[in-house]
Structure 1
Amino acid sequence: MNNVLSIQSHVVFGHAGNSAAVFPMRRLGVNVWPLNTVQFSNHTQYGRWTGGVVDADELQSVIEGIGAIGVLGRCNAVLSGYLGATEQGRAVVEIVKMVKAVNPRALYFCDPVMGATGGCTVAPGIEDFLVTTMPTVADAMMPNHTELEKLAGRTIETVEEAVDACRDVIARGPRIVLVKHLFDRNSRADTFNMLAVTASEAWFAQRPLYPFARQPVGVGDLTSAVFVARTLLGDSLRNALEHTLAAVNAVVKTTYDAGRYELEIVASQDEIAKPTDRFPAIRVTGGDVVRRG
């Protein structure tokens, strides 16, 4: 069985960070070792919360403890998300080194949460650290649109420009860039776009965009988690993208139909494993993508 060390935030109420990622990965058949960077009462988009940041030294100490009992080599992947302090970013880099030292085949998936959308709050210095350091360390980066712009250092308005930006990031180290939410001026306003890119492939896919009065939080964390799990389970880039899009669509649709704000992850668990609706990905070739609708 695959094991993922998931280094993210934790909220006691609701679904964000590990609270949105751990259960879906387990439901897909991937074991998870959750390591929380913060413990908050709820996610920060409520505008008020309690709790605090875990000390960076403690994060490393926990992993050293796993190594001390001789099981760290069973870790197949590290997934990092929300960081509560820049020091935690440096700790994540050291943890990735520790894991790869005992399992060179382990992969590092970086979700570069920069607080760019939805009112998410991150500490000063984290954005710069994610932009300058993490592409040189990660095997895969999973930004949203704004985060991709910051990683690439330029404005992006089309799928083709996004592919070029992803390839620029890939040139710095990662093998894969998954754009979890892509704005494209040529797409319809009622579609939600995703893009998966390697040095040799690029796949673009769309699902419906649901008209929430207030968009739910944790969708990106859920997206990264499903993509990581499906990749570890052996999916091709295209299949991992398609399953991820379909599974996340099922959760978001269930949440919207229920009139909820917090993601209905548990209620959607069977759809996460085997989505009913599928959204075929389109290959982007030679700067062109065939569009639907």
Structure 2
Amino acid sequence: MNLLSIQSHVAYGHVGNSSAVFPLQRLGVEVWPIHTVQFSNHTGYGAWRGQVFEASLIGELVEGIEDRGRLVACDGVLSGYMGSAETGAAILNAVGRVRVANPRADYCCDPVIGDVGRGVFVRPGIPEFMRDAAVPAADIVTPNQFELEFLTGHTVVSQTDVLAACERLHAMGPKVILVTSVLTDETPVTSIDLVASGPDGRFLLRTPRLDVSLNGAGDAIAALFFLHLKRTGSAAAALQAAGSSVYGLLRRTFEASSKELLMVEAQDELVQPSTVFEPLKL
């Protein structure tokens, strides 16, 4: 399998492509990464060095792959944080070129907008671009609870609300949805829920809640869910595999009191999670 991953990149730590590429490679995927930025570290540290690349670079690199005659072998495109609407437009253009070369290719969009407790943390115009352009173009989307509410205009308090919001999101275009973190009235205080919705049904995966907030976990689960969905064709199977792996990765990182995901040290969790959680059909 060959996947084109268009995301940010950091030299130190694991966010964006630095969080998505290695898990995919570890599981046997050939990844073609295109970096939208290259920073020393993620911006959550409050200080960083590096630069944002021109949006035109995305098209240039995709064209170079096309010159090699390899876009026909691209099975899908993965995107995450978009620093500007221009970058977003370039990503969608890349998706279009891949689909022309290989109509069976899928586009997985992680619609990074904000988070519960933090609100919107992307530049003005990006939330609207995600809602109006990126999400309708995607086959698979992986919002968190805050992003699900923003994209659909539907407040999520209960599991019923989650399913209603997913129906609204499906109506916008995506065939498969992974809600990467959900806290509803039915979620125990010691747990966190993930919800997947696809042609095979609606499913909930509940894992223990860890007292940790780590940048890059969402990038990793989006990549893993996309991979397992491509391989199995099942939202339930992809939810189980991706959710179990990322929980194991987070648990190992939490136990080590690390500020960065232990992506390499805990890589066995990607292949064979130490705890496998069973999805519940909703």
**AA aligned opposite 1:51:** G
Residue in 1 aligned with 2:177?
A: 177
**Counterpart pick for 1:219 among 202, 217, 224:** 217
Question: What stretches of structure 1 of length at least 5 have no aligned partner?
Answer: 285-293
Q: Deviations over 1:29-57 (max 9, x none)?
A: 11111111111111111112222211111
The change in CA–CA distance for 1:155 and 1:195 in structure 2 (over 3 A counts) is: same
Residue in 2 aligned with 1:249?
A: 247
After alignment, is 230-239 or 168-177 more displaced? 230-239
Q: Deviations over 1:137-167 (max 9, x none)?
A: 0001110000000110121111221111111
Asked whether 1:48 is paired with 2:38, we answer no
**AA aligned opposite 1:93:** L
Matches of 2:233 and 2:175 in 1, distance apart? 15
Residue in 2 aligned with 1:157?
A: 157
Question: What stretches of structure 2 of length at least 5 have no aligned partner?
Answer: none
Residue in 1 aligned with 2:270?
A: 272
Residue in 2 aligned with 1:291?
A: none
TM-score (norm 2): 0.96
**AA aligned opposite 2:135:** P
Residue in 1 aligned with 2:167?
A: 167
**1:199: how far off?**
5.2
Matches of 1:265 and 1:129 in 2, distance apart? 31
Q: Deviations over 1:90-133 (max 9, x none)?
A: 11111100000010000000000113358684222111100111
Matches of 2:105 and 2:272 in 1, distance apart? 26
Residues 167 and 199, structure 1, Cα contact 8 Å, conserved in 2: no
Residue in 2 aligned with 1:15?
A: 14
Residue in 2 aligned with 1:194?
A: 194
* Equivalent residues in 2 for 1:42-81, closer than 5 Å: 42-81=41-80
Secondary structure of the equivalent of 1:5? Answer: strand
After alignment, is 37-46 or 140-149 more displaced? 37-46
Residues 6 and 35, structure 1, Cα contact 8 Å, conserved in 2: yes
Matches of 1:107 and 1:258 in 2, distance apart? 36
Residue in 2 aligned with 1:25?
A: 24
Matches of 1:199 and 1:40 in 2, distance apart? 38
Matches of 2:8 and 2:251 in 1, distance apart? 24
**Counterpart pick for 2:238 among 237, 240, 253:** 240
Secondary structure of the equivalent of 1:9? Answer: strand
Residues 191 and 208, structure 1, Cα contact 8 Å, conserved in 2: yes
Secondary structure of the equivalent of 1:33? Answer: strand
**AA aligned opposite 1:217:** N
Matches of 1:123 and 1:45 in 2, distance apart? 15
Residue in 2 aligned with 1:116?
A: 115
**AA aligned opposite 1:89:** G
Q: Deviations over 1:37-89 (max 9, x none)?
A: 11111111111222221111111111011001111111000000011111011
Residues 115 and 145, structure 2, Cα contact 8 Å, conserved in 1: no
**1:270: how far off?**
1.4
Matches of 2:78 and 2:53 in 1, distance apart? 17
Residues 59 and 94, structure 2, Cα contact 8 Å, conserved in 1: yes
Residues 154 and 161, structure 2, Cα contact 8 Å, conserved in 1: no
After alignment, is 146-155 or 227-236 more displaced? 227-236
**1:183: how far off?**
1.6
Residues 255 and 264, structure 1, Cα contact 8 Å, conserved in 2: yes
After alignment, is 227-236 or 56-65 more displaced? 227-236
Identity percentage over the alignment? 39
Residues 224 and 242, structure 2, Cα contact 8 Å, conserved in 1: yes
Residues 81 and 112, structure 1, Cα contact 8 Å, conserved in 2: yes
Residues 221 and 242, structure 2, Cα contact 8 Å, conserved in 1: yes
